Structure 1
């Protein structure tokens, strides 16, 4: 289990794990908190650490004003102030986690710069450096920094956002799709081993239900009806609610899975407990395990697990499934969001012309024609 903020765990000479609350110097200097030993009882230590952190959070909330941020304030302090704001608290936990990661990358190089020294020229210079880590990464970092600066402008802490003038490099839209044989190859390898079977099931469900891997890894048994005929899901990205029918093949898989893992709440957890608890795969671990399976299956290296959802939707498009029905599966609320999936393919064109021919033939018969 993850340690509470500012909490450290160390093993003493007797082999016991001792917990200690160790906040940064700036909080000590201002008398906000203090360093204390929390003892060896983990439950009690975690509870006390949480209470101490609540006091720190309350202090931040009550001390955010124009005096806390000036031109001599560092980016590190600005980010810290933003993360104690009401705007930050309104973000979803997943968004907060993403922001923390991308902002931490930026802080490694810009954290000690003061606000007055970070101008457009310096911002562009660092953007070029972040591009070396990937276009998507660089754009996410810049977007998060821009959010922080826009918030600071709204608070009248600063007047300019140096990251708003960066012309971001466009990311290429992925168009890679899997073949059924490639999907089956990965599943065969995954299901052949107990330790990878649940990763295989997550991949299987993502492809079959045309859903995101992140949602599939968090499925619990109450996401299904009693007989595993319907999946009830509220998607994490835009909170869309979908109801997906479960085919017979997947039902058999889920019945077997229920026999093996019904003692806990997750459909496809990690197959071994951590501190006595069965936990879902993290996205990072799922990606790592999935890539290992793909390498062993010899599928093309350009493919990614995230392409499975696109593959399933493209198969519906090629099959001539009407757009409203595709949206009822994918969870898209706007037809424009499905547009990237509407490719000009031979299969789609063949299906369209065949359907047209049937309609024309039927119309002629009704008119008494040949």
Structure 2
């Protein structure tokens, strides 16, 4: 046994020695897969060992030839990927594409932590995108390890970048956006604010979603169906735009990351130089509803959020406005 040591370990139990071969593979929990070998004194030991070593060597050669681009392709064609929500699939395709653009030709097995860290650091001006690249890469590698395509984990121990929390818009910025001369920006701000929805759900709205009194939609992220009463200000804004067929989008353009980005840029330009993000309007809407005296349940019926999330979003609601609402209610009860 002294001359046969490569990939073999010896254990001892109840006075007996046992030998195991390291196959170079891992199971679904990331643990090494060992194969039991015959006793070295057994005449079949040499043949079994040679077969296992040959299989490991051939597999290692295949793994060494698999590029990062190839690993991503395999993952996106997998059942695991197919079971993800459509919105997650789109995000992973987008950010795994960015990963492939930078490291796609590298052997997937040889990509190291320092390679991923460098890529992410070069994206430091876009921390949100960097975090999505990290998550998308991690998903592909986790799947690859479970399938035995790779054994490495170049994402291990990498912390996500601080992105900061999306803030509600200042009152002056909200007023400016709602009154913008840019029709796309003005319509987008109205829809984002008065429906309290995410930009992807707003971008996907069609004229068939609006019956003149309600906007009906299914949230892409949660799958939750909502009937949202249309605010008078939103109804007035919608009336200024020619109504298309039921399958035509309210905001022109096919729903896509590119369309969402076009909306984002238009909205930001309308309130320049104030730095805001469209998602901040979701917080504005939640705060406005609460400040008007709506309960968390009533607010959640508009935004589609959980009650806990409504309270989380509401941390920056105006104490002054809430106090004024409370005092009006108090005085009304006494008259």
TM-score, normalised via structure 2 length: 0.71
Q: Paired residues, what number?
A: 277
Whether 1:244 and 2:217 are equivalent positions in the alignment is no
Give the Cα separation in 1 of the matches to 2:322 and 2:154. 48
Which residue does 1:182 correspond to in 2?
173
Which residue does 2:143 correspond to in 1?
151
Alpha-carbon spacing, 1:166–1:247, altered in 2? closer, same or farther (3 Å): closer
Which residue does 1:10 correspond to in 2?
none
After superposition, residues 56-67 of structure 1 pair within 5 angstroms as none
List per-residue Cα deviations over 1:152-209 (Å, max 9, x = no partner).
1221333342203212223211224241x4334334334xxxxx53553232121112
Pairwise CA distance, 1:294: 4.8
Which residue does 2:308 correspond to in 1?
335
Give the Cα separation in 2 of the matches to 1:145 and 1:288. 26
Whether 1:346 and 2:324 are equivalent positions in the alignment is no
Which residue does 2:31 correspond to in 1?
none
Kept in 2, the 8 Å contact 1:231–1:246? The answer is: yes
Whether 1:268 and 2:250 are equivalent positions in the alignment is yes
Which residue does 1:118 correspond to in 2?
111
Give the Cα separation in 2 of the matches to 1:127 and 1:118. 14
Give the Cα separation in 2 of the matches to 1:117 and 1:314. 49
Give the Cα separation in 2 of the matches to 1:301 and 1:353. 31
Kept in 2, the 8 Å contact 1:319–1:347? The answer is: no
Which residue does 2:81 correspond to in 1?
88
Give the Cα separation in 2 of the matches to 1:211 and 1:252. 19
Which residue does 1:312 correspond to in 2?
285
Pairwise CA distance, 1:281: 6.0
Alpha-carbon spacing, 1:151–1:161, altered in 2? closer, same or farther (3 Å): same
Larger radius of gyration: 2
Pairwise CA distance, 1:317: 2.8
- What's the secondary structure of 2:316's corresponding residue? coil
Which residue does 2:275 correspond to in 1?
302
Give the Cα separation in 1 of the matches to 2:117 and 2:133. 12
- Aligned alpha-carbon RMSD (Å): 3.1
| Match among 313, 319, 326 for residue 299 of structure 2 | 326
Give the Cα separation in 2 of the matches to 1:298 and 1:254. 20
Which residue does 2:190 correspond to in 1?
204
TM-score, normalised via structure 1 length: 0.65
Gaps of 5+ in 1: 1-65, 191-195, 271-278, 366-370
Give the Cα separation in 1 of the matches to 2:229 and 2:75. 43
